[in-house]
A and B are shown apart, each in its own frame.
Chain A
């Protein structure tokens, strides 16, 4: 698997980790394909994305008010 695809996979893995669940077969693939660096990068990026989405939500809620 190319590193580009692995990084995409890291984002998917982190997305599921926010919910705290992951299919076992997918998890087994994660631990063989992903490096810790990719997961940490995806984790920080997803956190920033998460903050941005919350700020956007807050923006729209306060606009209506």
Chain B
């Protein structure tokens, strides 16, 4: 694969400087960077909330925050991490990488791209600022279940508005990504020759366009129930709170895949690069990604096995959920087969990728356990669920984001990051992650409920281990921040092809990638 393109005149980007540049920019690289910085900031904000939660749970009794504030912290921690950290990080990757990977000069709708980003900070302010209004932030849990979300104060309205704004931003971002991928690929790049990250984002964008309006509908109905006299979800007025759960999880389960499919894409680039072998089973990866996306629409009921669905409903959702293990297993098999007999080296991105494959598999297996209806009825709303989804979302989504950041930092900044510090960051993160979340499986199996500030004394030891791990995990992320800043400020000059085994159009442009790239579409062989 090679690109024929002259970059001699690429670096004369006529753009404003200073803050104005970022307000008005339509450049995909600027917008990508803003998304990534935004998500890193939100990661620390959400992480701070998590540490307050873990500090409170260090021992039984109420020590640091009262139960109301505890509920608010669990609610906003989740919303901030999902909508503020993980999703914008992947959109940041998409902005930076998709045009570079498909050989496009920019995103299809460059001004709308600017607008989709600048919707995010106000939404974040609404979410985080809701702690300051009378009554505090929303405490209903991130799922916003009625009746709690109908009874809450003005902060619930702020949360609903924030969700609306972020949904609009996601839909605009997705339209942009779909249009860019379908219309602006380099000549010769057929769909089945696209890089995996591009494929996974194409499918993710369709998922977003399909489910974000459903969430918007659900929260709009909440809003009208709260202020305009409707009774969609208010049992006292003839409404049905269970209907909210169905609508919410019809959005919520595909949302889980929205947060993991781009991660699959990133890992599918890192592993071949550092195993120095092409991705094993490219086509089956595309098929498996599509199958996972289609199945994601028919499994929502597994989040609500305990609400009293008919046995036939429970069985349907149980079977459908368990079958997702098939395409997911194909992916894990392909990653391992890619590594098999490869000339592997273990730079930081590869360490994160290998950890992703092993730890995400643990999260997948505990998901399979929870898919079994009778088991779920026992484990529902326990710490087992908390452990499961953190294995999927932290060691899944966030490990891939960190691995991807290390992988593409040389392309973004023009410098190699500090490998030694990167490895220290990885090992501290991987070890402290497991110290934090593995004991939570035991807590859940022993019956400790989630979303409570106090607990019975027999849960103390595992909670203490988990809290110590959480603080180590949180503090380790400061190394990540330091490595990024250090890499931006200087370091060993990165070559255009920063990694020996890297393949793809993005490695044909200089590092750092010039402000304008591929003004003339490259030839893709």
- Which residues of A are in contact with B by a Cβ distance under 8 Å? 16-22, 27, 31, 36, 43-44, 47, 51, 54-55, 57-59, 61-62, 65
Give Cα distance in the complex from A16 to B283, angstroms: 11
Q: Knowing A19-B330, A43-B290 touch, does A58 contact B316 (C-beta < 8 A)? A: yes
**CB within 8 Å of A: which of B61-80?**
none
Question: Please, could you name 12 A-B residue pairs with CB atoms under 8 Å apart, sorted by A?
Answer: A18-B291, A18-B326, A20-B284, A20-B288, A20-B326, A20-B329, A21-B281, A31-B192, A44-B294, A55-B316, A59-B312, A62-B312
Smallest Cβ distance from A8 to chain B, in angstroms? 18
**CB within 8 Å of A: which of B81-113?**
none
Give Cα distance in the complex from A53 to B514, angstroms: 53
Query: Do B287 and A20 touch (CB < 8 A)?
Result: yes
Give Cα distance in the complex from A61 to B314, angstroms: 12
B191: chain A residues within 8 A (beta carbon): 36
Q: A21-B330, A47-B298, A51-B298 are in contact. List 4 more A-B contacts (CB 8 A).
A: A17-B291, A20-B288, A51-B320, A65-B311
Give Cα distance in the complex from A45 to B316, angstroms: 19
Q: Chain A binding site: helix, strand, loop or mixed by DSSP?
A: helix
Q: Return the 10 tightest CB-CB contacts between A and B, nearest first.
A: A20-B330, A17-B287, A20-B288, A58-B315, A20-B284, A47-B294, A58-B316, A58-B312, A31-B192, A20-B327
Give Cα distance in the complex from A36 to B287, angstroms: 13
A16: chain B residues within 8 A (beta carbon): 287
Interface size class on chain B is 20 to 34
Partner of B315, one of A20, A31, A62: A62
With both beta carbons as reference points, the residue of chain A lying nearest to B288 in the complex is identified as A20
Give Cα distance in the complex from A21 to B330, angstroms: 8
Query: Do A54 and B316 touch (CB < 8 A)?
Result: yes
Give Cα distance in the complex from A27 to B297, angstroms: 27
B297: chain A residues within 8 A (beta carbon): 47
B183: chain A residues within 8 A (beta carbon): none
Q: Knowing A17-B290, A20-B291, A22-B287 touch, does A57 contact B190 (C-beta < 8 A)? A: no
Give Cα distance in the complex from A16 to B190, angstroms: 21
Give Cα distance in the complex from A18 to B298, angstroms: 15
Smallest Cβ distance from B357 to chain A, in angstroms? 16
With both beta carbons as reference points, the residue of chain B lying nearest to A20 in the complex is identified as B330
Smallest Cβ distance from B308 to chain A, in angstroms? 16
B24: chain A residues within 8 A (beta carbon): none
Give Cα distance in the complex from A18 to B346, angstroms: 33
Q: Is B319 close to A, CB under 8 A?
A: yes
Give Cα distance in the complex from A40 to B329, angstroms: 23
Bitwise, B179-190 to A at CB < 8 A (1) or not (0) is 000000000001
**CB within 8 Å of A: which of B318-335?**
319-320, 326-327, 329-331
Smallest Cβ distance from A11 to chain B, in angstroms? 14
Query: Do B327 and A18 touch (CB < 8 A)?
Result: yes
Partner of B319, one of A43, A54, A62: A54
Query: Do A19 and B320 touch (CB < 8 A)?
Result: no
Smallest Cβ distance from A5 to chain B, in angstroms? 20
Query: Do B315 and A61 touch (CB < 8 A)?
Result: yes
Give Cα distance in the complex from A14 to B329, angstroms: 17
B329: chain A residues within 8 A (beta carbon): 20
Among A16, A20, A47, the one with the most B-chain Cβ atoms within 10 Å of its Cβ is A20
Give Cα distance in the complex from A37 to B70, angstroms: 50
Give Cα distance in the complex from A31 to B294, angstroms: 21
With both beta carbons as reference points, the residue of chain A lying nearest to B292 in the complex is identified as A20
With both beta carbons as reference points, the residue of chain A lying nearest to B190 in the complex is identified as A31
Give Cα distance in the complex from A21 to B505, angstroms: 27
A58: chain B residues within 8 A (beta carbon): 312, 315-316, 319
Smallest Cβ distance from A17 to chain B, in angstroms? 3
A27: chain B residues within 8 A (beta carbon): 283
With both beta carbons as reference points, the residue of chain B lying nearest to A57 in the complex is identified as B319
Give Cα distance in the complex from A58 to B314, angstroms: 9
